[in-house]
Amino acid sequence: MARGRENRRNNDKNKGDGWDGWGGYMKAKQQKLQEQYVKDGISSNIFKGVSIYVNGYTKPSSDELRRLIIQHGGVYQHYLYKTQVTHIIATSIASSKTKELKHMKIIKPEWITDSVAEGKILSYIPYQLYTSQTRIQTGMGGFAADTKTISTTLLKSPNQREYQPQDTNINIDKSPKTTVNQYRNFEDGTDNKEEIDSEHTDDDSILGQYFDDDDDESLVPVAIQKNSEQCLAIETEETLICTIEQDGSTNHKKLSNRLGSLNKNKSVSFSADLTDNSFNSSGHKGEADNIKPNVSSSLKPSVSPNKMAKAGDANFLSEFYGNSRLHHLSTWGAEYKAYVNKLQTENTDHFPGREKLRQFHVECVERTEELDNLQSVKGKPERIIMHVDMDCYFVSVGLLERPDLRGKPVAVTHSRNKGRTAPTQGSDPDYEMKYYRSKRADLGGTNTTSDTVKDEDNDVPPDLRKFDKFQSFAEIASCSYEARKAGVKNGMFMGPAKQLCPELNTIPYNFQKYQQISKQLYDTVASYTHDIEAVSCDEMLVDCTDLLADTGATPLEFATVLRQEIYNKTGCCASAGLASNILLAKFATRKAKPNGQFYLQNYDVIEFIKSQAARDIPGVGWSINRKLSNLNVTTCGDLQNISLATLQKEFGPKTGQSLYKSCRGQDERPIKMEKERKSVSAEINYGIRFQKEHECVKFICDLSEEVHNRLVKVKLKGKVITLKVKVRKGDAPKEAAKFMGHGICNNVSKSITVPLATDDATCISKECISMLHAMKINIQDLRGMGIQMQRLEMEAGTTHNKNTKGNQSILNFTVAKTNTETIKQHSVESTVIDKPQSGSNQLKNNINARKDTKVTKVKSPSSIDINTYKDFHVDDEERNERNISSQPIVSKHRVTLMSGYTLVDELARRKTAKGFLPPLPTLPSFNTPDDKSPVSTTTSIKHDSPMDYFLSPSQVDPDVLSELPSDIREQIEKEMNSRKTKCDTDIIIHNSQEAGCSHWPGSMTSDLSIITSRSPEDDSPIVALPSPSQIDLDCLNALPRELQEELQFAYKQQPNHQTVVTHLQSPTKHCSPGKTRKTSPLFKVPKGRPGKKRKLSPKKLLFSYEKSKSLNKPEINKIREYDDDVISIEDDIIPTLEPDKHNDIDTVDDSVSLCGAVTISQVRSLLKEWLYTCQEPQEEDVDVITAYISQLILDQNLEQVDLVLKFMYRNILKLDNNLWKRSLYNIVNNTQSLIQSVHGSRLNVDYMNTCKINIKNQDYQTIVHMT
């Protein structure tokens, strides 16, 4: 401010003295200021090109910094010109300023002093006050360039001596004090450094060490860094004070401080205190007392409560995914698979790389021509798979930016410290250790003691040998070969790794860079061939058979060229293994590593494979290896000695088989160009600590959003939503040993099937929340949560022909039938089919065949595929009709609401997806007077008029209608208007298209035998309205007035239909002459709508097909198909108990029923009615009974069969009508033959023998074998 005022004053004053041009004064002033110090003499050029601006209070002061920078060739800017200033120096910075200076490098002043002391410009990265980059460290890209300048401008200036002793002094001062530190003994590298300290040897080496360690420290997980500028500032102070030896322990404190400061508001004051403290101590550097408090406080593990970005926090999810290595790996894996697919589909035959390879090959041949011509036998057909794998990928990419670490042991991990942290508060590592030990013991079988010792090396995951409370639980994602030599392995925890290799350097993740390099890698390989199977971001399988045949190069030549090119392009080394199959190629790569290539010739295979370790076989993991070592197997050779039977017994049939083959080097898997996705999920098991319900809900919503995004990305929708939850194990400690880890948990999962495949985030989250509630879990015990979508379907609008049977979309089945004739043909075809599987294939074909015609012919929006829904509710509906205003209505409502929701959703989506208006789906209605649900009213239709599945005017809720998108609304309104006027034409359309049953081509085709046998009614559409005679006046009167009117109107409108309707009545109707007969309301509905019973959801249809397949009894398959015909009317015993909320298709009760009658008493009264009203039995009716009994038999309900037969027998005996008797014999005969085929024996019908039934017809007598 003061300066600003001065400027103004100066400006005014100096008007007219030559500087009054635009900015003239400022320019002159700057120049003067810059030159001011130059005259002191430039001692070195290390800061050449660096232009700093000092912000606020710093230590050393800005004056001092200015002196240093200018002395060493840099530029000191007094004003913050973003274009000129390269680095901003600050010890702390206001948060508002951090935003302003987001894209600037803000560096701690130590960078200057240390660089000067070092005599070269150091990487500024460890000194960054905070990382300007958001989550992925983009800024590191710039570092590579910087390092180059370092190496060139490296000058040993005399001045640096001034600074070095100072730093070493600190070291010397501190070293005695560190003996106070009780953890000193654990401290890695302590001895080493103490030696150096005491010897006062080469300063450089100490400093080097110092900086290295400092580097490690500053590589805080970025998520934390971002929010903790203040604390990092403290850290800088502390690092100055504390010697290397103390780092480990102070880290505890620093880390917790930093974590504490995540909650910014609180942390400000807190860190301010600390700053004071550290300032104090830095002021009295040499004094032991001042260090002590630091050390001791650091021993108290939790100065502040650990509060990292918890699940439920606003940006937890993005933060988590930004930093999750596994997340990136999996998404990249998928991405590259997609990338390769894209390349393949683009299918350019232009492979620029091949030319190069040809050239190289020619050169090679020229060189080695005289030696052997054999190698270049052109076009040999042998299959060659190359496995390309980058060498310690994360590390080598990381080293691109840190060339100074080359040749040193390096590990990539989130952990920034040296492998020790304070134990998380409330955690009990001992408990977890015990748990893992006991788990190991369990797995190990009986001989635990000897065994654990033996396999310890193999058990990487929780490395228990070195399990101690203060170790870091950060996992090492990748480590360099130098580190591997020391015994460090990928996946190890940082703590034990540091013990194995004290001088292990850590570098952070750089996900963007990985991705960039991976892209280059894939592009490189793709320039040769597209026969690539992407395995992960750094690994792929290449089928080079074609390529080599084309170019004539040898496998090794190709590998050489490719690896060279990869190295040139990416700067990272790749290894390549070549062999005749995938398995061997992978083995060969192992041999080739690091940075090599290996071609496993076929004649070498047998010897080669014998020497391979069995645990290296892909698919052999921890537990298989354990079992193998129990069998004394270590190499594949050992494994070869074990018989297939033993292996299968030990590992299960599949794994055994694959092991048996693998250890012989056999592997028939082709390179998979395209893999079908089975599920899409998002899961987070880190950092979940909910306190409040709403946090959890919020989290689920976020997670659902994530799943939604992923689904959208792959253009899929899922039908089954699974919620996986990790719950803290009852006796486990509250906190896990790994910071914010999940600790020991019980895994609980629950899934639900939604009627329509969805990718809608709100829908998913809603289901998940309700599932979570159903689990009844204490929110605070949640430690992990995942949402998975299964049974994926392509998004509507895209064809998905590759669908597997299980994946089949209901929508596929719900196509309008166009021609009765074709259907009939199809049905006939199907009857011939014996195998259920081919039956369903046929079915699929039929549907596909019909699809095309459908598009052109169906015009009426009423013939839509909503029957899917309808069928779900058939039960409810029919039950409802029976007792029209009774209890089950409530449950039904909810069901409708649910499916209605997804439906509307689906509607909107399809609309947007396809760009045109889809046919309007509707829902079955429930014309109960109390039906007020807006969704069901809009989307539902009247059950009385299933003929056209369109809402009746009375059912349209104007409010809801107005809420609909305008185009949909218009469609509805238009349709409604046209309906009013064009009733007659409508009817004609429906007759031709048979809207009702046309939605059920699936069930129609499967109906085969029934269709053919019960022809009259099956050919006709499903009944629209029951015949007027069947209307129960009581029921009608109970309806609201407008509904009544509507019904009456409908009846008036439908004279044309009456003929059809009579056709459709239940068997009994054929013989009941008088329509006035009053029947009990109970049976009216089923009889009035016999067509209904043939409707089955395709789902169920498939299911029963599968069922019959599993039974493997071809001889009864035909009969089983009756089973498909099961009438789905709910058993009256259970209806009210039927769960409503989680109603999925599977829960549809498939009780066998006779025209709706399920229980024996219902069946009895139905039969009674039939027997006593008909003079003589109709053949169709007998067939219905036979079918019903067949279903009962197949439904394993012989008891009811027995009862039905007995009942019929008793009554027919009373009737004493020979026609009836004959029918009974017919029925009994059919029943017996079916029972014979199913159970191998016949039903005991001895009771029928006791009375003589006179059979006139000799034919029957011969057929019927009754004892």
Distance of closest approach, residue 1138 Cβ to other proteins, in angstroms: 8
Nearest approach, Cβ of residue 902 and other proteins (Å):
18
Which residues between 1058 and 1097 bind other proteins (CB under 8 A)? none
Q: At its nearest, how many Å lie between other proteins and the CB of residue 893?
A: 18
Closest CA to 310 of 681, 778, 702: 702
**Distance of closest approach, residue 1202 Cβ to other proteins, in angstroms:** 4
Identify the bridge partners of residue 845 per DSSP, sorted by sequence position: none
Cβ neighbourhood burial of 431 (10 Å; 0-12, 13-18, 19+) = middle
Is residue 1147 a contact point for other proteins (CB under 8 A)?
A: yes
Selected range binding other proteins among 289-297, 333-341, 554-562, 1194-1202, rule: CB under 8 A: 1194-1202
Q: Which stretch binds other proteins (CB under 8 A): 620-628, 688-696, 744-752, 1207-1215?
A: 744-752
73 phi-psi bin (left φ>0, alpha ψ -120 to 50, beta other): left
Q: Which residues of 799-827 are buried (b: 16+ CB within 10 A; e: fewer)?
A: ebeebeeebbbbbbbbbbbbebeebbebb
- Select the residue interacting with other proteins from 1244, 1250, 1254, 1258 (CB under 8 A): 1244
Number of residues that bind other proteins (CB under 8 A): 36
> Which residue spans within 803-899 are E strands per DSSP?
none
In this structure, are residues 171 and 243 in contact, taking their beta carbons and an 8 Å threshold?
Answer: yes
Minimum gap (Å) between residue 874 Cβ and other proteins: 15
Helix axes 1198-1215, 1160-1173, angle to 10 degrees: 30
Please report how close the Cβ of residue 496 comes to other proteins at its closest, in angstroms: 35
Given the structure tokens 């015949």, which residue do they identify? 1027
Q: Which is nearer to other proteins, 83 or 1110 (CB)?
A: 1110
Q: Does 1246 bind other proteins (CB under 8 A)?
A: yes
Whichever of 173 and 1149 has its CB closer to other proteins, that residue is 1149
Smallest Cα–Cα separation from 424: which of 489, 474, 478, 497? 474
Burial of 619 (0-12, 13-18, 19+ CB in 10 A): exposed
Residue among 1169 and 1202 whose Cβ is closer to other proteins? 1202
Tell me the window of 503-511, 907-915, 960-968, 1238-1246 that interacts with other proteins (CB under 8 A).
1238-1246
DSSP state of 1021: P
User: Taking Cα atoms as reference points, which of 886, 984, 962, 964 lies closest to residue 926?
Assistant: 886
| Shortest CB 1003 distance to other proteins, Å | 17
Q: Where are the beta strands (DSSP E) in 610-702?
A: 680-684
Contacting residue, 152, 269, 749, 1080, with other proteins by CB under 8 A: 749
Nearer to other proteins, 94 or 775 (CB): 775
1199 near other proteins, rule: CB under 8 A: yes
CA 1171 vs. chain centroid, Å, equals 59
The rounded distance, in Å, linking the Cα atoms of 598 and 1108 is 52
Whether the Cβ atoms of residue 479 and residue 497 lie closer than 8 Å to each other? yes
Q: Report, in Å, the least distance between residue 1151 CB and other proteins.
A: 8
| Whole-number Å distance between alpha carbons of 296 and 778 | 37
| Part in contact with other proteins (CB under 8 A); list of ranges 697-705, 1075-1083, 1139-1147, 1220-1228 | 1139-1147
Residue 985 in the binding site for other proteins (CB under 8 A): no
Q: What angle do CA 21, 22, 24 make, to 5 degrees?
A: 60
Among 1198, 1213, 1215, 1255, binds other proteins (CB under 8 A): 1198
Q: Which stretch binds other proteins (CB under 8 A): 332-340, 746-754, 762-770, 942-950?
A: 746-754
DSSP-derived secondary structure letter, 424: P
Distances (CA, A) of 338 to 531, 559, 679, 951, 1267: 13, 24, 16, 44, 68
Residue 1148 or residue 1163: which is nearer to other proteins going by CB? 1148
Query: Which CB atom, from 820 or from 1190, has the smaller least distance to other proteins?
Result: 1190
Chain Cα centroid distance, residue 631:
37
Q: Output the smallest distance, CB 441 to other proteins, in A.
A: 19
711 binds other proteins (CB under 8 A): no
Q: Quick one: 307 or 1107, whose CB is closer to other proteins? A: 1107
Least distance (Å) from other proteins to the CB of residue 891?
Answer: 11
Give 576's strand partners. Answer: 388, 597
Q: Minimal CA–CA distance to 867: which of 999, 1006, 1022?
A: 999
Per-residue x/- marks for other proteins, 451-480, CB under 8 A? ------------------------------
Say whether residue 1151 binds other proteins (CB under 8 A): yes
Which of the 8 DSSP states describes residue 461?
Answer: S
Query: Which positions from 756 to 785 touch other proteins by CB under 8 A, shown as an x/- string?
Result: ------------------xx----------
Binding window for other proteins (CB under 8 A); candidates: 19-27, 617-625, 672-680, 1142-1150: 1142-1150
Q: What is the DSSP letter of 1090?
A: G
- Minimum Å gap between C-beta 1248 and other proteins is 12
Under the criterion CB under 8 A, does residue 1019 sit at the interface with other proteins?
no
Q: Does 957 bind other proteins (CB under 8 A)?
A: no
Is residue 1196 close enough to count as binding other proteins by CB under 8 A?
Answer: yes
| 715 is a contact residue toward other proteins (CB under 8 A) | no
Q: Is 534 in the site for other proteins (CB under 8 A)?
A: no
Q: Which residues, 6+ apart, have CB-to-CB distance to 894 below 8 Å?
A: 1140, 1141
1106 touches other proteins (CB under 8 A): no
Question: Which pair of tokens denotes residue 304?
Answer: 């502040």
Of the candidates 1149, 1213, 1229, 1264, which one interacts with other proteins according to CB under 8 A? Answer: 1149
Closest CA to 683 of 782, 763, 539: 782
Instruction: Identify which of residues 290 and 1143 has a Cβ nearer to other proteins in the complex.
Output: 1143
Closest CA to 824 of 968, 1013, 950, 666: 1013
Are 246 and 181 in contact by the 8 Å Cβ rule? The answer is yes
Q: How far lies 801's CA from each of 11, 213, 808, 847, 1006, in Å?
A: 78, 58, 9, 12, 21
Give the C-alpha separation, 758 to 903, whole Å: 10
Q: Does 868 bind other proteins (CB under 8 A)?
A: no
In this chain, which of 188, 212, 482, 1150 binds other proteins, going by CB under 8 A?
A: 1150
Rule CB under 8 A: say whether 1241 interacts with other proteins: yes
Among 1058, 1137, 1179, 1256, binds other proteins (CB under 8 A): 1137
Residue type, 210: Y
Q: Which residues, numbered 591-650, are part of the site for other proteins (CB under 8 A)?
A: 649
Strand-pair partners of 476: 413
Give me Rg for the CA atoms of the chain: 40
- Among the listed ranges 558-566, 994-1002, 1171-1179, 1233-1241, the one in contact with other proteins (CB under 8 A) is 1233-1241
**Is 284 a residue that touches other proteins (CB under 8 A)?**
no
> From the list 42, 80, 748, 1215, which residue makes contact with other proteins (rule: CB under 8 A)?
748
The residue range among 54-62, 128-136, 947-955, 1144-1152 that interacts with other proteins, by the rule CB under 8 A, is 1144-1152
Which CB sits closer to other proteins, 702 or 1150? Answer: 1150
1239 contacts other proteins (rule: CB under 8 A): yes
Residue 720 binds to other proteins (criterion: CB under 8 A): no
Q: Which residues are paired to 92 by β-bridges?
A: none
Q: How many CA atoms lie within 13 A of 35 on its CB side?
A: 6
Q: Measuring CA to CA, how many Å separate 463 from each of 185, 624, 1024?
A: 20, 18, 71
Q: Which residues bind other proteins (CB under 8 A)?
A: 649, 653, 748-750, 774-775, 1103, 1137, 1139, 1142-1144, 1146-1151, 1195-1202, 1235, 1239-1244, 1246, 1267
